[in-house]
Amino acid sequence: MTSPVPAAVNPPRRILMGPGPSDIHPRVWAALAAPTVGHLDPYFLQIMNEMQAMLRQVFRTNNELTLAVSGTGSAGMETCVVNLIEPGDKMVVCVNGVFGGRMADVAARCGAQVTTIERPFGEIFSTAEIADVVKKVQPKVVGIVNAETSTGAWQPLEEIAKVVHDSGALLLVDCVTSLGGVPLEVDQWGLDAVYSGTQKCLSCPPGLAPVTFSPRAVAAIEARKTKVASWYLDLTLVRNYWSQSRAYHHTAPINMNYGLHEALRLVLEEGLEARHARHLKNHKALKAGLAAIGIKYAVAEGQQLPMLNAVLIPDGIDDAAVRGQLLNEFGIEIGGGLGPMKGKTWRIGLMGEASSPRNVLLFLAALERCLSDRGYKLSAGASIAAANAFYAKF
């Protein structure tokens, strides 16, 4: 019996203000729809060269080993861990959210002797506590999350990198949510292995993972005594495809690379400093609006990510009901909390293309309606007035 042919794909229009993916610029959509060529076609090899150059600018690095892994941000995580870790190596992983926990899991699967240092969800690590554990463990690698997507916490890195390097270890950093949204200085701060994703502040669909490795990290990879556990993510093989030798390794997702190429062009046309300033301005406007209706942040002042706003759900308000109304009535997607923050926080994304005054004001208006429908006491229009008052300063 023949089954009926499913209907054509026709997704609803959403305003993506969750923890990712983010809204996509029309120029990126157009690039994705460009004709596919072969993965060794001279045109595509040119695109790869240009992408590497742009990724170095966005990462703020001169690292030769900088490329886009064929896979999502989690593939970037696995690439960094599996290439640096051999069975029996010691690794310290800083866990203050879901993605620090995931890094520890990946390291254990690679055969590392993993030591975790933990903070409650929403908090960050001090340099002193990391210095203490590094001194005790003497690890080969220390892993930490710069922008913890599950909590909205922003982890400073510069002083931690000094402590890690003084011990002789390598610093591996998750920048999935931070790249393109807040300052990130790979070379200046001394970050050894960094991975990100395309679907956050770069505003490209999920599917590629930008990574970059310092000369120290490359030396560690070249000094391995065992093969990298993953053939697909083995940089001793993959880098030959991204180098001038162009040795075939796998068939790259051609059109995804077109999309990232255009997304990076947009980032550099805007300018990194201007882009960071835009994210911060819209974060502050949103924050002013939320404060006007009594909604507080889940992360301490000075540690809040501007592109991922984790806020406390008011007492008596149903988390899923509000998110459902925002989605079904207004087409706005926001995220719920994860782990111990489930049901307690909302995660409001202002990433890349989604970081705009239009989205801030639209979201605040829609949120007021959702809260009012549930008996929450607020002065109608207060959040919008507060956000507009902030914008009026510029």
pLDDT tens per residue across span 63-103: 999 999 999 999 999 999 999 999 999 999 999 999 999 99
> For all residues of the chain together, what is the average pLDDT?
97
Distance CA 62, CA 242 (A): 15
148 pLDDT more than 80: yes
Handedness of CA 74, 75, 80, 86 (dihedral sign): positive
Give CA torsion, residues 374, 380, 386, 392, to 10 deg.
140
Instruction: Compute φ and ψ for 194, nearest 5 degrees.
Output: -130, 135
Instruction: Compute φ and ψ for 93, nearest 5 degrees.
Output: -120, 130
User: What is the DSSP annotation of 62-118?
Assistant: --SEEEEEES-HHHHHHHHHHHH--TT-EEEEEESSHHHHHHHHHHHHTT-EEEEEE
CB-CB contact of 84 with 220 (8 Å) = yes
User: What is the DSSP annotation of 130-171?
Assistant: HHHHHHHH--SEEEEESEETTTTEE---HHHHHHHHHTT-EE
Strands of the 308-312 sheet, one edge to the other = 308-312, 345-349, 335-336
Residue ranges of E strands in the chain: 15-16, 65-70, 90-95, 113-118, 141-145, 147-148, 153-154, 170-174, 193-195, 208-213, 308-312, 332-333, 335-336, 345-349
Distance CA 231, CA 237 (A): 8
Number of H helices and number of E strands within the chain?
14, 14
Q: Give the fold, CATH level 3, of 26-269.
A: Aspartate Aminotransferase; domain 2 (3.40.640)
138: left (phi over 0), alpha (psi -120 to 50) or beta: left
Share of the chain above pLDDT 90, in %: 98
* Residue-level pLDDT at 224: 97
* pTM for the structure as a whole: 0.96
pLDDT tens per residue across span 250-292: 999 999 999 999 999 999 999 999 999 999 999 999 999 999 9
Q: Give the fold, CATH level 3, of 272-391.
A: Aspartate Aminotransferase, domain 1 (3.90.1150)
Domain parsing of the chain, residue ranges: 26-269, 272-391
Closest alpha carbon to 208 in 103, 71, 364, 327: 71
Question: Would you place residue 326 in the very low, low, confident or very high pLDDT band (cuts 50, 70, 90)?
Answer: very high
